[in-house]
Amino acid sequence: MVQASRSVVFCSLVVGVLLHSSWAQDRAALMKQASIIFRGTVKKKGDVSFKGIPKSDRTIVVVVDEVIQKPSAVSLAKGAEVTVDAVDAEALSAGSSFVFYTEGWIYGSGVAVREIGHEAAPVRTAELAEPMGAQLEQTRKEMSDNELRSRLDAADIVVTGQVTAVHPWNPPSLVATRPRISEHAANWQEAVIRVKTALKGAPADHEIVVRFPGSWDIAWASTPKLQSGQSGTFILQKDKVTGVPRAALAGRSVDAHTALKPGDVLPISEAQRVRALLRKE
């Protein structure tokens, strides 16, 4: 009888570990996709928080209890009402609290987001020592090496160096057609980086050209904004975005590269970690 009880306990522990591991993987996947993460309480269903948003069975109004992650350009704070375009609104009952993993949708007199996923929020009490943000930060650390390794695999060049110049850049094809400037225009910039150490794909003592969106519009708010004099570890790909793969540098034509994601530019202190991961490839 004792042996049987031990078996039941053991099986329960194994199932618990497997479920926790599965959820940890799901959470990491959601975090990689989401640009806006917050804990909030459902206030209304089938409604919206400000004019200009299409109301439907999928839209719900959520009161923000805690902002966990957001781009700096997004104005969102505790107590704000947010419209969420829910994946399954039926599963989100009024008065219940959840952690929402979302991406930006509509910005006006308020914020509207599209849900990628959610999880039930933990019960918050004065005795709760670890905030949700700290729990998610731990998940970030656990997945960071794998994510960085994937980014390094996809990179054409990885270097340490210093930005020596930054200037506006207009793709020739766009200049010729004189396009209408939209609110989401990238406002492309070119930076010249003097390479200090080549970690992958670029010779040392060489200059490279890197393009990046200078716009602070929500569509580009999270992209790196390089500044003259900035030192860092740069994880770059050849320009496959603008339609102009070459750049002019000191009277010669060179490959242009891009920095489009937050992880493409890291502090110079990350060089040792990057070098170690590249050695494991």
Task: For residue range 179-202, list pLDDT tens digits in order.
Answer: 444 446 889 999 999 999 999 997
Are residues 244 and 93 in contact, defined by beta-carbon separation less than 8 angstroms? Answer: no
Q: Which residue segments constitute the domains of the chain, with CATH numbers given?
A: 33-129 (2.40.50.120), 147-279 (2.40.50.120)
Task: For residue range 118-134, list pLDDT tens digits in order.
Answer: 998 866 544 344 555 56
Report CA Rg, the chain: 23
Task: For residue range 207-235, list pLDDT tens digits in order.
Answer: 999 999 988 776 777 788 999 999 999 99
User: Is the entire prediction scored with pTM above 0.85?
Assistant: no
Mean residue pLDDT across the chain: 81
Bridge partners for 83 per DSSP: 61, 112
Are residues 226 and 191 in contact, defined by beta-carbon separation less than 8 angstroms? Answer: yes
H/E segment holding residue 69: strand 59-69
H/E segment holding residue 271: helix 271-279
Give which of 89, 114, 110 is closest to 35, Cα–Cα: 114
